């Protein structure tokens, strides 16, 4: 369903960039879980724009109002709805664009899907802003997963061909992980971050934009979590990940590189570690047959460059059916990748929570 | 849901490799559609093993028995169930493996998910054989889509680093497309196919296996087909694609390559072609904001090398909790990629049909 | 799913009686439908309390805020979220009841389901107030159905053994139907209404309450709307109807009376009316095999007496595990039936709209 | 979805009365549950026709073939598909009826829904025979519920105005319950059964049919099982119950009678029994706010008289658009009620199992 996802942890998302509010309804939460609102606010702040000269100066006050399902500091078990009011929206910036679809944006496809009745201001329901409720949902799921011993992190793996250092999730200390998510450009290697910053600012100066690759991992996922076929961990993760605007690729473990190798090179050999069954390598990204094998779950997503750029581009006037040019006005991110990092983590948390509940329900 | 997929075209899949039968229930079909059984048989034959020395000699007689929903040569509109009996299964080959999980396989994760009660013979419910019902469903969907002017094709884009020639889906003639799907190794460039064959046979001789990349495209998809967010075309396609065993990556249009480029390089500029709005390029794979833009829908999937190999590999005895070695006995494909081509097409057809029905339902 | 319903017209409902707000997210709406907000306000006013001495004096200002999916007076096609703020709630009335479950209420079962973490104030998520968002959804659906020639109405069929006059939906003029829904006690026979009023006030004087039966019908439903088995019209209608608090019975056409009769007495004979196929009678309530036959769809629901009564009743202290007595304080309706009439109509509208979309989607 | 039901225990049903087979796919079963096939066969035999002169002499060999999900006597956790071949079908009986819709049957509505392409033989997908797979699913669910201390039973409460004796589920011994389900006409009072038999045979002699009311109850359902609103126990139970052909009414506890009474008469007062909270009465049928209160869950369904009767009835020729008469040929039950008893129990078991899994999944 278009705005709904989840069988056990159910999300219903709504909102348009310049309408009164955006929000989400969460269902399937346990009763009596004490929500850490500061932790939620922190996750939302990681996604929020305006934190630095790397992102759009549009400011959002992304502290949600919880309308239901939350009482005396705890979840009630009933559906929890949280909304974020849209403010500082400058609708005027967009009014001229109604007729000129921006290349790379959903303006034209929205026009075709909704016959011209879509709220076109600021991308409407297609705006990246709609990922804020997803981050809210993910922040809730993360807290529940943490109580089960599951931790989710992500980093920027590359931007414009600049790669971060290799990473073994099992060797990352809690402190290092905490430090990672506090960084403006979350990488392991600070020098890589510096070079990425330069590449982003270089693109910004030229009225252009860059994309990048985000790597996300989860530790502590119990072996046996997941499902074969249509509800494989890969299927569910990719489903939610590809709902994030600008994501054009998802790969697990070695991913596309595995396609070039020999079977003997990519099969993860089983071994004993401290008497427990483990894998010597993690080329499969912790998933076999759609089910977690106990190794860190690991995947990467490709984020395309922000389509909104100041540079002149060719487009067509929808009303006049005439070719013309456009230079997208307004404020926009030269690189959406850093702000997408917490969104990718949120997607991972949402899926893992749903899958954990599924496994639990199968005990009867 | 684990074995169910689809909101408008609903699939419920079942079966284990060495049980009595595998099959699928299709719901949401129109009444009165005349099914071309030969076309279905052809699609199934493309996936079937034993066609050449590139695949396992296990023979399947993959002509399904249709149990319901089909009357006097036409769909009745009621659920259509089709089953394929399992024959020529040689269960003995697998009995010794109950204790030794094969690296890269789902043996160990299935053990953890199902507490040892899974049908372990031949991979059970995790067997690639379960994709045969998916091909059946796809073959039905393809016929319905064709009647709507939509054609789906796929080719091997690369195997072991050997790449096929570049392809523009809009310039491929109907004859070339038909020829493509009749080939053992469906590529545009016959020389690339020859080199791929050598690479596969080379791996086979060494008791090893290779993977590859499949590219799939659909022409004739009306602009406006699809949805924002959770039911984006990318989300739905990736969901079904990642349910296919051995697929570890999915990318749309430029995919991961887009992450390295500038926005000005990857935005698809709008133009007029014969008076109609089109894009000059197709870097987005025909999808913006989760919705088709009228250009060919195009994506690639990474297929990992078949995990079953004759080469000795390290594993662990589950009963003795002891490290040991395994050489997977029995018949197996040195390269699953050619047989996966029709499965990928089927996944594409299933999703497009569901999405077309969704758009139609939104007219009231 | 607990708070979600619908495959084509999807609802996600949320809220607690004394929390910040209640609301609903609607998905699957067409783009460009001009909503008549006055008509929505009218439907909500029919359900609102405080209109007369027959209902609780608690006043609600049930004009919803639409947060999304609505732009320039029309639906955008994106999810539409509407919320109603909770005001005039007097939480103090309920604080003493935390320990004493009210007989006939969900206090005790909520306690068991949510381990004591439910928002217990005013019934929380179990409050009849949660039906206001359902009426909102129904008011939207009604407008869309009306544009398709489908009209939905309901009346009070009986209260405390006092029956309204018999009714043939096909002979009710548009004016009579409009008049019906404007009445405080919507009956065909004004004398029956008068007697019902007396029965209600009599119960009120004694600190007691009464229930009743509501009959609802829809004209203009095209023959062929509906589905066999799990999505039969009866299944879907009963599903949504039984989610309305206080409804304990649903019957279609003759319903329970049919169980006493002979087949030859209850089979609806086919005939020709103006050259079209019709039924001579409508004992089946316009549904055969789960599918509309073109006759008026007709069903009745049993509404139990409001459980909140001033009379002393036996209950148990949850904390002390001790039998005691309770006289439910606060304001409550002596009879919820009149306010339930628009809720029942809303349920009918929601289901019919979903089913119409289903039939449409099956055209491909 | 038309042929699918369930969120945690998922069913996908298929088949037509005179096609090759009918069947069902069950998903969400635990792994390692030892199925008692004899108990399943017993349940199917209770529904099977031809057991006495009260039902159609058509014989079914309703022992299902399990195609998947079952290995070495236990569930594997993978989807379980079971099919029943159609035999002894005498398609010729029905061929003349293609043009003459039988009053009370789904012939005409199927024609409108499926544009004449439905398998019309023997009612096709609308045949009561499709309930056999439901009984299979229910028999599996019953075994799992029994292991959780939940027992489900049903009886004929009335036929043609002849009522069985009153029943308190909590006072029915295990032996009495076992005896009940072995009876041809399962009633508490043998004299009532005798009078019912006479009424049935009397209708049979006149080429007519009778309906009746079935009462079903479940003991041992833990307080707290269920959900508010859309997934209330009443909603889910009614959903599945109304998918059974011929059921036209469902009521819980006092049901329609509650609509006539005062609140003080129907509120179930809380009390202590053996130190545990219980209700003094069970007018609500064990459900408050959609959630079980620990008392026996209890409901009744109205079964209309079998529409197939030998008596002449008015109908219309679809091809000639002309009024005519029909006397339904072939074998048919004068009363479907006894055979519907195990189907109603199955529906109850299916829903309770799904809801138990839901509650379990909410523990995280």
Give the model confidence (pLDDT) of B53-92 as tens digits. Answer: 666 555 455 689 999 999 999 999 999 999 999 986 665 6
pLDDT of residue A57: 52
Is-contact A101 A107, C-beta < 8 A? yes
Query: Token digits for B64?
Result: 């399904």
ipTM of the complex model? 0.96
Run of H or E residues at D139: helix D131-146
Cα–Cα dist B355/B352, whole Å: 5
Whether residue D142 is predicted with pLDDT greater than 90 in this model: the reply is: yes
Give me chain A's average pLDDT, please: 93
Q: Is D6 annotated as a binding residue?
A: no
* Chain D (209-248) residues lying within 8 Å, Cβ to Cβ, of chain B: none
B282: nearest Cα among B264, B260, B298, B303: B298
Query: Which chains, if any, share at least 3 CB pairs under 8 A with chain A?
Result: B, C, D
Smallest CA–CA distance from B10 into chain D, residue: D1
Minimal Cα–Cα distance from C356 to chain B, Å?
Answer: 8
Nearest to A1 among C2, C10, C71 (CB): C10
List pLDDT tens digits, range C58-80: 545 568 999 999 999 999 999 99
Whether residue D328 is predicted with pLDDT greater than 90 in this model: the reply is: no
Find chain B residues with C-beta within 8 A of A275's C-beta.
321
Q: Looking at residue D105, what DSSP letter applies?
A: S
How does strand A322-326 pair with strand A212-219? unpaired
Q: Is B33 annotated as a binding residue?
A: no
Q: Looking at residue B194, what DSSP letter applies?
A: H
Nearest to B270 among A108, A241, A303 (CB): A108
**Confidence label for C328 from pLDDT (cuts 50, 70 and 90):** confident
pLDDT of residue D181: 87
Whether residue D57 is predicted with pLDDT greater than 70 in this model: the reply is: no
Cα–Cα dist B151/B130, whole Å: 24
Smallest CA–CA distance from C131 into chain D, residue: D229
Q: What percent of chain D has pLDDT over 70?
A: 94
Give me chain B's average pLDDT, please: 93
pLDDT of residue A8: 95
Is-contact C142 C152, C-beta < 8 A? yes
Nearest to A4 among C10, C70, C71 (CB): C10
Q: What is the 3-state secondary structure (H, E, C) of chain C?
A: CCCEECCCCEEEEEECCCCCEEEEEEECCCCCCECCHHHHHHHHHHHCCCCCCCCCCCCCCCCCEECCCEECCEECCCCEEEEEECCCCCCHHHHHHHCCCCCCCCHHHHHHHHCCCCCCHHHHHHCHHHHHHHHHHHHHHHHHHHHCCCEEEEEEEEECCEECCCCCHHHCCHHHHHHHHHCCCCCCCHHHHHHHHHHHHHHHHCCCCECEEEEEEEECCCCCCECCHHHCHHHHHHHHHCCCCCEEEEEECCHHHHHHCEHHHHCCCEEEECCEEEECCCCCCCEECCEECCCCEEEEEEECCCCCCCCCEEEEECCCCEEEEECCCCCCCCCCHHHHHHHHHHHHHHHHHHHHHHHHHCCC
pLDDT of residue B339: 96
List pLDDT tens digits, range C219-278: 999 999 999 999 999 999 999 999 999 999 999 999 999 999 999 999 999 999 999 999
- C-alpha distances (whole Å) from C137 to each of C355, D62, D174 are 15, 45, 47
Q: Judge whether B170 is closer than 8 Å to chain D, CB to CB.
A: no
Cα–Cα dist A345/A348, whole Å: 5
pLDDT of residue C90: 60
pLDDT of residue D236: 98
pLDDT of residue A145: 98
Q: Judge whether C353 is closer than 8 Å to chain D, CB to CB.
A: no
pLDDT of residue A61: 59
Nearest to A68 among C19, C113, C117 (CB): C19
Find chain C residues with C-beta within 8 A of B363's C-beta.
30, 360
Average pLDDT in the D29-36 region? 97
Whether residue C89 is predicted with pLDDT greater than 70 in this model: the reply is: no
Whether residue B1 is predicted with pLDDT greater than 60 in this model: the reply is: no
pLDDT of residue D24: 98
**Confidence label for D88 from pLDDT (cuts 50, 70 and 90):** low
Q: Is D8 annotated as a binding residue?
A: no
Q: What percent of chain B has pLDDT over 90?
A: 88
Q: Give me the sign of the Cα torsion angle D264, D265, D268, D269.
A: positive
Q: Judge whether D28 is closer than 8 Å to chain B, CB to CB.
A: yes
pLDDT of residue A156: 98
Nearest to D15 among B68, B74, B125 (CB): B68
Q: Which residue's entry shows tokens 């196929």?
A: C277
C83 or C49, higher pLDDT: C83
Q: Is A126 annotated as a binding residue?
A: yes
Say what angle helices C131-147 and C337-361 make with each other, to 10 degrees.
Answer: 50
Minimal Cα–Cα distance from B59 to chain A, Å?
Answer: 23
Q: How far is CA D33 from the centre of its chain?
A: 24
* Degrees, nearest 5: CA angle B363-C1-C2: 120
pLDDT of residue B87: 83
pLDDT of residue D55: 64
Query: Token digits for D134?
Result: 């439901």
C331 or B13, higher pLDDT: B13
Contact D2 C227 (CB under 8 A): yes
- C-alpha distances (whole Å) from A265 to each of A170, B142, B327 are 21, 37, 15
pLDDT of residue D364: 87
Average pLDDT in the D110-121 region? 94
Query: Token digits for D63?
Result: 């022992």
Nearest to C31 among A19, A25, A114 (CB): A114
Is-contact D346 D137, C-beta < 8 A? yes
Whether residue D92 is predicted with pLDDT greater than 80 in this model: the reply is: no
Minimal Cα–Cα distance from D52 to chain B, Å?
Answer: 29
Average pLDDT in the C10-25 region? 97
Q: Judge whether D64 is closer than 8 Å to chain B, CB to CB.
A: no
Q: How far is CA C204 from the centre of its chain?
A: 23
The residues pairing with C279 across neighbouring beta strands, listed in sequence order, are C270
pLDDT of residue B97: 74
Q: Judge whether B7 is closer than 8 Å to chain C, CB to CB.
A: yes
pLDDT of residue D89: 61
Q: Which of D246, D249, D284, D285 to mutate to test the interface with C (most CBs of C within 10 A)?
A: D249
Smallest CA–CA distance from A229 into chain D, residue: D78
Count A/D contacts: CB-CB distance under 8 Å.
45
Average pLDDT in the D113-123 region? 93
Q: For residues D173, D174, D179 and D184, what is the CA-based torsion angle, rounded to 10 degrees?
A: 100
Contact A361 D360 (CB under 8 A): yes
pLDDT of residue B92: 61
Cα–Cα dist D263/C309, whole Å: 7
pLDDT of residue C181: 87
Neighbour count for residue A161 (Cβ, 10 Å): 13
Q: Judge whether C153 is closer than 8 Å to chain D, CB to CB.
A: no
Average pLDDT in the C205-222 region? 97
List pLDDT tens digits, range B160-201: 999 999 999 999 999 999 999 889 999 999 999 999 999 999
Q: Judge whether B289 is closer than 8 Å to chain C, CB to CB.
A: no
Smallest CA–CA distance from C30 into chain B, residue: B362
Contact A315 B270 (CB under 8 A): yes
Q: What percent of chain C has pLDDT over 90?
A: 88
pLDDT of residue D30: 96
Q: Judge whether C339 is closer than 8 Å to chain D, CB to CB.
A: no
Whether residue C95 is predicted with pLDDT greater than 80 in this model: the reply is: no
CA atoms within 13 A on the CB side of D154: 27
Average pLDDT in the B329-353 region? 93
pLDDT of residue A56: 60
Query: Which chains, if any, share at least 3 CB pairs under 8 A with chain D?
Result: A, B, C
How does strand B65-66 pair with strand B80-85? antiparallel
Count B/D contacts: CB-CB distance under 8 Å.
183
Query: Token digits for D166?
Result: 């009153």
pLDDT of residue B93: 59
C40 CB burial (10 A radius; 0-12, 13-18, 19+): buried
Q: Give me the sign of the Cα torsion angle C158, C164, C165, C166.
A: negative
DSSP codes joined into one string, D320-332: TTEEEEE---S--
Query: Token digits for D281?
Result: 């009465």
The residues pairing with A27 across neighbouring beta strands, listed in sequence order, are A10
Minimal Cα–Cα distance from A361 to chain D, Å?
Answer: 5
Contact B223 A267 (CB under 8 A): no
* Chain A (103-142) residues lying within 8 Å, Cβ to Cβ, of chain C: 113-119, 124-125
pLDDT of residue B9: 97
List pLDDT tens digits, range D245-280: 999 999 999 999 999 999 999 999 999 999 999 999
Contact C259 D213 (CB under 8 A): yes
pLDDT of residue A106: 96
B273 CB burial (10 A radius; 0-12, 13-18, 19+): exposed
Residues contacting A248, CB < 8 A, separation 6+:
A302, A303, A304, B234, B251, B252, B253, B254, B255, B256, B258, B259, B284, B285
Q: How far is CA A85 from the centre of its chain?
A: 21
List pLDDT tens digits, range B269-316: 999 999 999 999 999 999 999 999 999 999 999 999 999 999 999 999
pLDDT of residue C238: 98
Positions in chain A short of pLDDT 70: 1, 51-62, 88-96
Nearest to C104 among D213, D288, D290 (CB): D288
């Amino acid at each position: 369903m278009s705005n709904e996802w989840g069988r056990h942890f159910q999300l219903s998302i709504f909102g348009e960039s310049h309408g009164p509010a955006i929000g989400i309804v969460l269902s399937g939460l346990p009763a009596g879980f004490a929500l850490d609102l500061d932790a939620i606010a922190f996750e939302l702040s990681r996604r929020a724009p305006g934190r630095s000269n790397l992102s759009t100066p549009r400011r959002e006050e992304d502290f949600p109002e919880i309308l239901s399902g939350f009482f005396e500091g705890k979840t009630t078990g009933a559906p929890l709805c949280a909304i974020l009011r849209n403010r500082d929206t400058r609708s005027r910036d967009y009014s001229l664009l109604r007729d000129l679809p921006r290349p790379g944006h959903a303006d034209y496809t929205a026009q075709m899907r909704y016959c011209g009745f879509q709220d076109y201001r600021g991308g409407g329901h297609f705006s990246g802003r709609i990922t804020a409720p997803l981050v809210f949902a993910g922040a809730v799921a993360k807290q529940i997963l943490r109580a089960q011993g599951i931790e989710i992190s992500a980093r920027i793996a590359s931007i414009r061909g600049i790669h971060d250092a290799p990473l073994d999730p099992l060797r990352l200390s809690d402190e290092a992980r905490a430090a990672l998510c506090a960084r403006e450009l979350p990488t392991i290697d600070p020098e890589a971050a510096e070079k990425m910053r330069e590449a982003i600012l270089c693109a910004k100066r030229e009225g252009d934009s860059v994309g990048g690759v985000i790597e996300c991992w989860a530790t502590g996922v119990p072996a046996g979590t997941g499902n074969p076929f249509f509800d494989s961990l890969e299927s569910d993760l990719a489903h939610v990940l590809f709902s994030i605007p600008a994501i054009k690729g998802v790969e697990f473990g070695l991913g596309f590189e595995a396609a070039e190798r020999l079977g003997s090179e990519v099969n993860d050999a089983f071994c004993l570690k401290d008497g427990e069954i483990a894998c010597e390598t993690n080329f499969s990204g912790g998933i076999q047959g759609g089910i977690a094998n106990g190794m860190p779950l690991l995947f990467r997503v490709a984020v395309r460059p922000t389509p909104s750029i100041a540079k002149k581009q060719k487009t067509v006037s929808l009303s006049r059916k005439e070719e013309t040019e456009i230079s997208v006005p307004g404020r926009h991110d030269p690189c959406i990748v850093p702000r997408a990092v917490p969104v990718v983590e949120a997607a991972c948390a949402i899926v893992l929570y749903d899958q954990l509940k599924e496994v639990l329900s199968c005990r009867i």
